[in-house]
């Protein structure tokens, strides 16, 4: 029996074990794992009640032991050496040995948040940008990945499950679905520190911060108490609710298959090559299916006839579709060649040479879109058929399409709703405690933008909450939410600007907290910008500078002070490197600002290399765009319409037009000198 599989029988953590059972551990302790270096690292699991458990790391001669309690739980701490590229084993025994192989010692970081942390290396939009990194992932065998499966808990959990059954090495097949920010952060650390690095991904898209905070911390906020009580009531019936949901989903899926006229049991009638699709409609892929059937979810079939060259016959082929939203079963000449369930993951299937023949063949895709937009809407060059030598037949363009089934409301599980207070802390943070780690990185906030003032309290509360759970004041680095939404041609008040300010304030009120500015990396039309390597690198710069003794310029220019003289405002910055510069976005400008905004005066000035992004106001609190010039480590701003300015702002918008950087290419942080109440002031729920 494969040892890793034994370790993941996590159901055993909640039931009694027979006297002959092997010790059972969490997915934190598997082959390929990383221990934090130079620490006393907790190790824990479950064994037979009263059993003596021993742990023997191969890096030393010392053996550690403890006795399992009445419930079978045991824990102990082991001393870890300095990080290195040595590969170790860890032997755990309660009379029967379990051996973990390819264990390394180095640095461990926790990576959490919502969808911009979750966005994988091979997401549907970033696959072309990150393709080479995926192909070369095996070049980093000492970068190790642990991906916590998304789940919720109405009460605190001790166990969790992990994708790939636990820790994996960096490989193309494991990197593809892993958090891009976490991967690039870990890779930058591993390259710089020359020791193994482990990154733990535990995140869930679209979630608000209150779901990631424990009950004890949530109780400090009166407006959340009723929501907490709702969760506690759900905890009483969680198992029953989940069982009912599973039964409903089974009935839903069975009915969908039974009602799908393209299927006859397990046989895909509409996938056979000689099926007559002459009455079907057409669609040019890639495209969202809702362009043909607005506001509709259901099952959709796509067919395309392809001519296979003579010299391709009998060869294994690669069929690339880009992402398929939400699920797919894909057929090549009537034979099922692959299926997928992750909406934003690019599909790439192997077509065995045994079914590849010269002449016309039909590629057929059955797509189930169960909510939101769906279909195949990645990039055109992601759709292709490729032979082993790299020759391609493009598959973008016209396809036949037919809807076989329209859905009503699909079953939803209230026991798996992530946007309830505490439920993600309970299920996706608590089970990781007290695994030894160096620190945490965080990318979340978009879901709290409408309550940005309250985030000033909630973000520090989360950090202190997690630190209390671990009993350690570990470093914590926040990704400041990127620019998003349409550019405003006039100054104003904006929720995302206030959320960024709240994130900055967390770093000011707590030690060992930093913020990575990404105000230049976002996109006007997509809340999930593709430039995740820069995000990971900027977070890594903070860690390298603050925690690993590297003497780096790790942030962009930071506002220090201002003074008003002769109708001008002089603003002083720190972290300017070798100097302040105005940096146009260049080829990225249209994505950053949006096509419409490319004609705005502020965008034109920014792309011409003038300093933009500043606004000033007088005592009337009316904001005006300011002119600006760089003078050493200061920027001088003024506006002919504001004779007596009293306050200045920079980068203050959802998607601000701003271009001040330091010589190291890092952007200046948005800021304001006033404390006038914003649009989210007083909003608690």
What pLDDT score does 408 carry? 66
pLDDT(679) > 70:
yes
Q: What is this structure's pTM? A: 0.86
pLDDT at 14 over 60: no
Domain assignment present for 302? yes
| pLDDT attached to residue 295 | 87
pLDDT range class, residue 9, cuts 50, 70, 90: very low
Give the residue-averaged pLDDT of 421-443: 98
pLDDT at 577 over 80: yes
User: What does the pLDDT read at residue 253?
Assistant: 78
Using pLDDT thresholds of 50, 70 and 90, give the confidence band for residue 466. Answer: very high
- Tell me, letter by letter, the H, E, C secondary structure of 472-487: CCCCEEEECCCCECCC
Q: Percentage of the chain surpassing pLDDT 70?
A: 95
pLDDT of 621 reads 97
What CATH number is attached to the domain comprising 274? 2.60.120.260
**How many other CB atoms sit within 10 Å of the CB of residue 605?**
20
Residue 385 and residue 358 in contact, taking contact as beta carbons nearer than 8 Å: no
Q: Residue 177: CA atoms inside 13 Å, Cβ hemisphere, count?
A: 18
Radius of gyration of the chain (CA): 27
Around Cβ 511, how many Cβ atoms within 10 Å? 8
pLDDT at 8 over 70: no
Residue 660 CA to residue 651 CA, distance in Å, equals 9
The whole-number pLDDT of residue 345 equals 77
> Would you say 471 and 506 are in contact if contact means Cβ atoms under 8 Å apart?
no
Angstrom distance (rounded) from CA 556 to CA 345: 33
Distance of CA 424 to the CA centre of its chain: 15
Check residues 93 and 371 and name the one with the higher pLDDT: 93
What string of DSSP letters covers 117-155? HH-BTTBTTTHHHHHHHHHTGGG-TTEEEEEBPP---SS
| Residue labelled with tokens 């500043």 | 614
C-alpha count within 13 angstroms, C-beta hemisphere, residue 143: 23
Count Cβ atoms within 10 A of the Cβ of residue 294 and give its class: 0-12 exposed, 13-18 middle, 19 or more buried. exposed
User: Quick one: which of 385, 316, 388, 320 has its CA closest to 351?
Assistant: 316
Extract the tokens encoding 99: 């051996």
Residue 197 lies in a domain: no
Choose the weakest-confidence range: 48-57, 313-322, 400-409, 475-484.
Answer: 400-409
Q: Could you tell me the strand order of the sheet in which 384-386 lies?
A: 346-351, 317-323, 384-386, 392-394
Q: Is residue 104 one of the residues assigned to a domain?
A: no
Output the pLDDT for position 168: 98
Task: Give yes or no for a contact between 545 and 551, defined as CB atoms under 8 angstroms apart.
Answer: yes
Residue 428 has pLDDT above 60, yes or no: yes
The band of 7, judged by pLDDT with boundaries at 50, 70 and 90, is: very low
Kindly report the length of the chain.
Answer: 685
> How many domains would you assign to the chain?
1
Q: How far are the Cα atoms of 221, 421, 425 from residue 214, in angstroms, in the given order?
A: 12, 8, 6
In this prediction, what percent of the chain has a pLDDT beyond 90?
85
Q: State the pLDDT at residue 21.
A: 59
Q: Residue 625 and residue 647: Cα distance in Å, rounded?
A: 12
Q: Are 330 and 338 in contact (CB under 8 A)?
A: yes
Distance CA 305, CA 158 (A): 52
- For residue 463, the model assigns a pLDDT of 98
Task: Note whether 327 and 272 are within 8 A (CB).
Answer: no
* Residue 502 or residue 251, greater confidence: 502
Say whether pLDDT at 20 is over 50: no
Question: Does 124 fall in a domain?
Answer: no
The set of residues, in sequence order, having a beta carbon less than 8 Å from that of 360 and lying 6+ positions away, is 273, 305, 306, 307, 308
- Mean per-residue pLDDT of the chain: 93
Higher-confidence residue: 503 or 249?
A: 503
pLDDT-based confidence at residue 2 (cuts at 50, 70, 90): very low
CA–CA distance, 63 with 662 (Å, rounded to integer): 52
Contacts of 206 (CB under 8 A, 6+ apart): 114, 115, 418, 419, 447
Q: Is the omega angle on the peptide bond into residue 71 within 30 degrees of 0, that is, cis? A: no
Residue 539 lies in a domain: no
Give the pLDDT confidence score for residue 409 in this predicted structure. Answer: 60
| Lowest model confidence (mean pLDDT) among 93-102, 228-237, 244-253 | 244-253
187-219 pLDDT, tens per residue? Answer: 999 999 999 999 999 999 999 999 999 999 999
E-strand ranges in 33-72 read 34-36, 40-46, 52-57, 64-67
Residue 561 lies in a domain: no
Place of tokens 């890779």: 187
Q: What is the pLDDT of residue 13?
A: 37
Q: Is residue 530 domain-resident?
A: no
Range of the domain at 307: 263-406
Helix, strand and coil in the chain, % to nearest 5: 30, 30, 40
Q: What is the pLDDT of residue 127?
A: 67
């Amino acid at each position: 029996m494969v040892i890793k599989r034994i370790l993941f029988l996590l159901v055993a953590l909640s039931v009694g074990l027979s006297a002959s059972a092997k010790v059972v551990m969490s997915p934190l302790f598997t082959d390929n794992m990383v221990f934090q270096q130079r620490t006393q690292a907790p190790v824990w699991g479950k064994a037979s009640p009263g059993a003596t458990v021993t742990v023997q790391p191969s890096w030393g001669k010392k053996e550690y032991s403890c006795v399992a309690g009445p419930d079978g739980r045991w824990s102990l701490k082991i001393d870890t050496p300095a990080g290195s590229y040595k590969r170790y084993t860890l032997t755990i025994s309660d009379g029967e040995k379990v051996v973990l192989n390819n264990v390394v010692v180095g640095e461990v970081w926790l990576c959490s948040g919502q969808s911009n942390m979750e966005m994988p290396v091979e997401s549907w939009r970033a696959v072309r940008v990150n393709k080479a990194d995926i192909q070369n992932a095996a070049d980093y065998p000492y970068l190790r990945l642990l991906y916590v499966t998304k789940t919720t808990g109405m009460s605190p959990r001790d166990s969790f499950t992990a994708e790939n059954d636990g820790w994996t090495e960096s490989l193309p097949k494991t990197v593809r679905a892993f958090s891009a920010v976490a991967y690039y952060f870990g890779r930058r650390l591993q390259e710089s520190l020359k020791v193994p690095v482990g990154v733990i991904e535990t995140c869930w898209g679209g979630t608000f911060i209150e779901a990631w905070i424990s009950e004890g911390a949530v109780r400090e906020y009166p407006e959340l108490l009723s929501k907490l009580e709702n969760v506690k009531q759900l905890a009483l019936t969680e198992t029953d609710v989940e069982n009912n949901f599973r039964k409903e989903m089974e009935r839903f899926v069975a009915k969908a298959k039974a009602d799908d006229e393209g299927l006859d049991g397990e046989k895909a009638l509409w996938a056979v090559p000689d099926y007559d699709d002459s009455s079907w409609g057409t669609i040019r892929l890639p495209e969202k299916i809702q362009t043909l059937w607005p506001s509709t979810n259901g099952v959709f079939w796509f067919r395309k006839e392809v001519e296979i060259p003579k010299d391709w016959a009998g060869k294994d082929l690669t069929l690339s579709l880009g992402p398929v939203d939400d699920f797919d079963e894909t057929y090549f000449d009537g034979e099922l060649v692959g299926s997928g369930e992750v909406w934003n993951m690019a599909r790439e299937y192997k077509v065995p040479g045994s079914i590849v023949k010269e002449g016309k063949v039909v590629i057929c895709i059955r797509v189930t879109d169960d909510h939101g937009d769906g279909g195949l809407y990645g990039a055109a060059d992601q759709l292709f058929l490729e032979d082993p030598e790299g020759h391609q037949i493009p598959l973008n363009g016209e396809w036949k399409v037919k809807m076989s089934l329209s859905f009503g409301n699909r079953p939803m599980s209230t026991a798996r709703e992530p946007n309830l207070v505490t439920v993600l802390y309970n299920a996706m943070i608590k089970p990781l405690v007290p695994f030894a780690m160096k620190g945490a990185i965080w990318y979340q906030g978009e879901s709290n933008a409408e309550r940005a003032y309250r985030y000033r309290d909630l973000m520090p509360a989360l950090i202190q909450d997690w630190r209390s759970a671990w009993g350690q004041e570990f470093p914590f680095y926040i990704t400041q939410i990127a620019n998003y939404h349409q550019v405003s041609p006039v100054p104003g008040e904006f929720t995302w600007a206030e959320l960024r300010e709240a994130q900055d304030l967390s770093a000011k009120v707590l030690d060992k907290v930093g913020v990575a500015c990404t105000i230049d990396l976002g996109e006007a039309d997509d809340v999930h910008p593709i430039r995740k390597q820069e995000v990971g690198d900027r977070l890594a710069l903070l860690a390298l500078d603050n925690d690993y003794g590297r003497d780096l310029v790790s942030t962009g220019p930071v506002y220090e002070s201002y003074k008003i003289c002769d109708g001008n405002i002089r603003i002083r910055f720190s972290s300017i490197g070798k100097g302040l510069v105005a940096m146009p976005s260049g080829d990225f400008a249209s994505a950053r600002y949006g096509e419409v905004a490319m004609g705005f005066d502020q965008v034109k000035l920014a792309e011409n290399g003038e300093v933009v992004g500043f606004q000033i106001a007088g005592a009337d609190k009316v904001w005006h765009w300011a002119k600006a010039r760089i003078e050493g480590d200061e920027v001088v701003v003024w506006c002919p319409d504001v004779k007596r300015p009293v306050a200045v702002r920079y980068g203050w918008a959802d998607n601000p037009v701003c271009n001040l950087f330091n010589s190291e290419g890092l952007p200046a942080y948005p800021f304001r000198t006033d404390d006038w109440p914003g649009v989210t002031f007083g909003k608690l729920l």
